[in-house]
Each structure stands twice: as C-alpha cells, then as structure tokens.
Amino acid sequence: MADEPRVALVTGASGTIGAAVARELAAAGLRIAAGFHRGGEAARNLAAELPDALAVPLDVTDPAAVRAAFGKVAATMGPVTVLVNAAGLLRDRPLLRMSDDDWAAVLTTNLTGPFWCVRQALPSMIAAGYGRIVSVGSAAAAFGTPGQANYCAAKAGLLAFTRSVARESGRYGVTANVVAPGLVESPLIADIGEAARTGFARRTATGSLVDARDVARAVRFCIETPALTGQSVDVDGGFG
C-alpha cells in the first residue's frame, strides 16, 4: 500500500461481505468509507470499530445519491482511489413468475449501480495515477442458477463491464477485477433451507460454504497486485 493512507469506498458495507471487506482493507492500512443504503446502524457501528472510518449513506440505484456520497467522502476524507462494489440484491423467482420490477431492481442494483459508482470514481483515480476497482460477482454468473435469471444476468454483465473498464483504464494506473464468491455464510441465505445448503456444499471441492473473510482476502489481493486486472477471482470452494 502507499505511504499515505488511501481512501477506500465500500458499497454495501452493512452486509456480511461488505463488512468483511471493510475490516480487511482497514487492516491493510486503508481509510474506509462504509457505504450503506439499509442497515445504517450496522454501518455506523462498523465505522466506529475501524480507525478513522466514515459511514456514508449510499443508494447505488440512484445516480444523484452516488454523486452525493462520493462528494461527501472527498470533502471529509479525500478522493476515493479504491472502490469495492459489494452492494447487492436478490429477488429469486422462476422466470415465468419474475416481474418486471424483480428484473429491473436486481439489474439496477447489481450492474447499473456499479457502473454509476465506477464512472464517479474514475476521474479521481486517473488524476492520482492510481486506482483499484473490485466488484463482488458470483459463481452464479458462470453456471446459471434456476430461479436467478435476473441475478445471473447482472453478475455476468458485471464481469464483462469490468473487463472493459480494465482495458480502458489500465494506462492510467487503474485496475479493475471481479471477485466471484460461491454461496457465502450470511443472514441472506437463512431462508434457503438445510437441504439446499447441504446440496450446494456437496458440489464444492471443499465440502463447505464460503467464509466472507476469504472473499475479503481475495479483494485485498486484487488491490495489492498491480498486474492483476480484467480478471475474475473465483472464491467458491471449487464449485462445479
């Protein structure tokens, strides 16, 4: 990491993966802006736990809110040169029961939101001659999951988007990568049932679900490795 602490904005920092990423990057010496839409108390508690951190309201589905959040971080902490897109949304339905809103909400949160955040972050990264963009994808993007056509489409699009950003921005010292977890132990999967959890775990080489801390370590690896860009780092326990 640089001699001067860099500012990392983590969207979805009130969630399991986002919080783990924030803690890992704080341990690496970055100053953390913990972006949240819901879960404000959790984000504020997280910021209080970390050195010199800030909880920032950030609805990634609203471009005006994205601009406001980046402006607040820049005014309070300095320009964002590390961006982690960890905000996400699930609305699982079989395709024939998936509403227009189910489709649009998931695509907006998981794909368009990162676009708005990256577009906002790039000018300060280019000006600094340094930038790291890491987006949280999903193993579902590669395999396709029944009942998740919206989510799989968004996460597959996120990888293609990231590869384009990497090619456009590499000459300016900016890297862009995706970390693609398998099924992560979190409150988000509390309702999927034990049979589904066991079935997913059996399809992995490790025989277990993914720990969010492993996802966070992969994010840190992407940030600390300048030659790594335009890639998907799969953290899925060898799912297949």
Domains of the chain from N-terminus onward: 7-235 (3.40.50.720)
pTM over 0.85? The answer is yes
Q: Which amino acid is at 231?
A: Q
Band (pLDDT 50/70/90 cuts) for residue 197 is confident
pLDDT band per the 50, 70, 90 thresholds, residue 119 = very high
Question: In terms of pLDDT, which residue wins out, 198 or 100?
Answer: 100
Mean pLDDT (whole number) for 17-46: 97
Higher pLDDT, 186 or 67: 67
Sign of the alpha-carbon torsion through 176, 182, 185, 188: positive
Average pLDDT over residues 212-232: 98
Residue 186: predicted pLDDT: 83
Q: What is the pLDDT of residue 3?
A: 62
Positive/negative CA dihedral, 5, 8, 13, 16: negative
Res. 1: pLDDT tops 90: no
Q: Does the pLDDT value for residue 168 go beyond 60?
A: yes
Can you give the pLDDT at residue 187?
76
Of the pLDDT bands very low, low, confident and very high (cuts 50, 70, 90), residue 80 is very high
The pLDDT score that the predictor gives to residue 75 is 97
Statement: residue 169 has pLDDT above 70: yes
Residues annotated as catalytic are 151
Handedness of CA 209, 213, 214, 220 (dihedral sign): positive
Query: For residue 113, how many C-alpha atoms fall within 13 Å in the half-sphere facing its CB?
Result: 32
Rounded CA separation 109/59 (Å): 9
Q: What pLDDT is stored for residue 2 in this prediction? A: 44
Question: What pLDDT sits at residue 130?
Answer: 98
